[in-house]
Amino acid sequence: MIFRQRPKPEAEIPTASMADIAFLLIIFFMVSTTLLEEKGLSMVLPEPGEETKIRPENITHVLLDNTGRIKIDGVYYDLSSVRKVIEDKLAAKPGTLIVSFNIQPECRYGTMIDVFDELRLADARKISLVPPKGAK
Q: Which residues of the chain form contacts with another protein (CB under 8 A)?
A: 15-16, 18-19, 21-23, 25-26, 29-30, 33, 36-48, 64, 103-114, 116-117, 120-121, 129, 131-132, 135-136
CB of residue 133 to another protein, shortest distance in Å = 10
Pick the closer one to another protein by CB: 58 or 130.
Answer: 130
Residue 72: strand pairing partners: 62, 75
Pick the closer one to another protein by CB: 8 or 39.
Answer: 39
**Residue 29: which residues within 8 A CB-CB, separation 6 or more?**
none
Pick the closer one to another protein by CB: 15 or 52.
Answer: 15
Pick the closer one to another protein by CB: 97 or 118.
Answer: 118
CB of residue 23 to another protein, shortest distance in Å = 5
Q: Which of 121, 92, 115, 93 is nearest to 102 (CA)?
A: 115
CB of residue 42 to another protein, shortest distance in Å = 4
For residue 122, the tally of other CB atoms under 10 A from its CB is 18
CB of residue 55 to another protein, shortest distance in Å = 24
Pick the closer one to another protein by CB: 59 or 112.
Answer: 112
d(CA 1, CA 64): 99
For residue 29, the tally of other CB atoms under 10 A from its CB is 9
CB of residue 1 to another protein, shortest distance in Å = 38
d(CA 68, CA 106): 9
CA atoms within a 13 Å half-sphere pointing along the CA-CB vector of 112: 14
